Structure 1
Amino acid sequence: MSRWADQVGEGHGARYASRFADLAESGVDVHGEARLCASLVPEGSRVLDAGCGTGRVAAWLAEHGYDCVGVDLDASMLAQAERSTPAVPWVREDLATLDLAEHGIEAGFDLVVAAGNVIPLVAQGSEHVVVRRLAAHLRSGGLLVAGFGLDAAHLPLAEPTVTLADYDTWCRDAGLELRQRYATWEGDPYDGGGYAVSVHLCR
């Protein structure tokens, strides 16, 4: 079981979607992840939203001209994504065994994004496998963009599960090299704090 499922259980997709809708209505910017992705690849690029949840990132990108696919294992979250943005293909799969070809979807994405603490919340011990499967869906020159917490203050967990050193090693083993690291999805420089957004290039 993933750490995410262990934390939240089942059937919470509607509550999760409602929380972000309330934040947006109150004026909070909830599209920073999508805008950073849009700054990295041009309109029309193929984007895989890995661990897409209710589809917030992929939906915004699709609305702005990107060719998106969303993948998540949580059925209640995907139900919300399908309801809000039916034009985007939403696939229920475990990221550790992801093979979109089995769903008739070609690999060769220009960008794969894993927002919302996806990497620290996969099943314990599967992190390196997930990174390898995400890298396998990139074209040469494509980008893997992942943002996650590095301390308990930035995670829904009692303690961190992933270090940047480990993550960079998994990426390197998967044929990726670090191109940029930010402290936020707004692109602030990383200064060693408790949250990082990493951009890796597929060689």
Structure 2
Amino acid sequence: MEEPPGSRWADIVGREGHDHGARYAARFAALAASGADVHGEAHFCAALLGPGSRVLDAGCGTGRVAIRLAELGHVCTGVDVDSSMLAQARSRAPAMTWIQADLATVDRLGLRPDFDMVVTAGNVIPLLAATTEPAVVAALAALLRPGGLLVAGFGLDAAHLPLDHAPVSLPDYDSWCADAGLALLSRAATWEGDPYTGGGYAVSVHRRG
């Protein structure tokens, strides 16, 4: 499946060329080699999970978050529309489940609706195709078991996005979550868990009722 026409992500990768997955993976490998912690998202999520939880990494990219969560004992599935990014995930963890699909069609993949967590890291929500965001949030929420968590981290201004503006606000996102039967549980300013008091980035945790 190709990147969906009109998605903000498709616009970005269209300018970067077909090897963007390898370059993205190499950048994080270099960071890890320098001693930087590149697993903040996974560790944030792991702190919210019980042992052996089922996790869907929606917009998984090169699999960095899902692979680390699997190393921590969780059962992870990754979904991404980008074949270049998924090629890196499959090469790093061939035994894991990786699905190439547009998140706007995730409700057609036959996934069991009993995930303990769905995580969308890496600005997934604001990089969706315009107008698809509410339907994607609803579809992801429907895959959660009762009490399951939707965790999303994304930029709220141009300084925290690969865009010249922020297409999604927190009131927008909270409204879509509420319409999908999710209630806000907590919000942080970083994946390290710093309290959110405003600013250009937020990590939101919503729970399915």
TM-score (normalised: structure 1): 0.97
Describe the superposition over 1:110-137 as per-residue Cα deviations: whole angstroms up to 9, x where unpaired. Answer: 0000000000000011111110111011
CA distance in 1, matches of 2:169, 2:109: 31
What's 2:43 paired with? Answer: 35
Residue 197 of structure 1, CA deviation: 0.2
What's 1:152 paired with? Answer: 158
Describe the superposition over 1:41-67 as per-residue Cα deviations: whole angstroms up to 9, x where unpaired. Answer: 112000000000000000000111000
2:204 aligns with one of 180, 198, 202: 198
Residue 100 of structure 1, CA deviation: 6.1
Q: Does 1:86 find its partner at 2:91?
A: no
1:124 aligns with one of 130, 136, 152: 130
What's 1:4 paired with? Answer: 9
One-letter identity of the residue aligned with 1:59: I
Contact 1:51 1:72 in 2 (8 A): yes
What's 1:171 paired with? Answer: 177
1:23 aligns with one of 3, 25, 31: 31
CA distance in 1, matches of 2:109, 2:197: 39
Which 4+ stretches in 1 moved above 4 angstroms?
A: none
What's 1:136 paired with? Answer: 142
Contact 1:171 1:200 in 2 (8 A): yes
Contact 1:100 1:107 in 2 (8 A): no
Flag structure 2 segments of 5+ consecutive residues without an equivalent. Answer: none
CA distance in 2, matches of 1:20, 1:60: 13
Contact 1:100 1:106 in 2 (8 A): no
Contact 1:3 1:122 in 2 (8 A): yes
Residue 99 of structure 1, CA deviation: 2.7
Deviates more, 1:8-17 or 1:189-198: 8-17
Residue 107 of structure 1, CA deviation: 2.1
What's 1:66 paired with? Answer: 74
CA distance in 1, matches of 2:67, 2:166: 29
**Secondary structure at the counterpart of residue 124 of structure 1:** coil
Flag structure 1 segments of 5+ consecutive residues without an equivalent. Answer: none
Q: How many residues align?
A: 201
CA distance in 1, matches of 2:76, 2:108: 13
Q: Does 1:112 find its partner at 2:118?
A: yes
CA distance in 1, matches of 2:38, 2:99: 23
Identical columns (%): 67
CA distance in 1, matches of 2:124, 2:130: 12
Describe the superposition over 1:129-165 as per-residue Cα deviations: whole angstroms up to 9, x where unpaired. Answer: 1101110110000000000000000000000010000
One-letter identity of the residue aligned with 1:170: W
One-letter identity of the residue aligned with 1:15: R
CA distance in 2, matches of 1:101, 1:122: 18
